[in-house]
Amino acid sequence: MSIKKSVTEWRAILSPAQFKVLREKGTERAFSGEYNDHFAKEGTYNCAGCEAPLYKATSKFHSHCGWPSFFEALPGAITLRPDDSLFMKRTEIVCTNCGGHLGHLFENEGYKNPTNERHCINSISLKFQDS
């Protein structure tokens, strides 16, 4: 993790909703996020906390789950962590650069993409940048 900020510093740069998701591992409501139905031919989805590039626009796909879904991240952009919260085993996805919570990884769900993975990401954790 490259960026280290205090809680006060994070609160100063993030909206309350962004802070809840990125720093407290919250989840936005399904189908409510800005990037759920956002598709672009080019560009990157960056971390809303530190602006580190996370996903290419070309790795986004329609999963109809209510959150933006990607099949692969940019090399080194994300870190995977075991998540045993909510009485289930999941894999949390965090931004490698700032440690911000992005969402969860789901595998082998039958989506027809190159990795058979679904990176289920909160829109509020992202910021799209055209290329």
| Cα→Cα distances 110→42, 92, 107, Å | 26, 20, 8
Of the candidates 130, 34, 118, the one whose C-alpha atom is nearest the C-alpha of residue 70 is 118
Above 90 in pLDDT, residue 21? yes
Q: What is the Cα–Cα distance from 101 to 105, expressed in whole angstroms? A: 12
Q: Which of 47, 95, 98, 120 is catalytic?
A: 120
- For the stretch 58-117, pLDDT in tens is 999 999 999 999 999 999 999 999 998 877 789 999 999 999 999 999 999 999 999 999
Domains in the chain: ranges and CATH: 7-129 (2.170.150.20)
User: How many other C-beta atoms can be found within 10 angstroms of the C-beta atom of residue 87?
Assistant: 5
The reply to whether 120 belongs to the active site is yes
Above 70 in pLDDT, residue 1? no
Q: What is the Cα–Cα distance from 66 to 85, expressed in whole angstroms? A: 21
DSSP letter for each residue of 37-83: T---SS-EEEETTT--EEEEGGGEE---SSS-EES-PPTTSEEEEEE
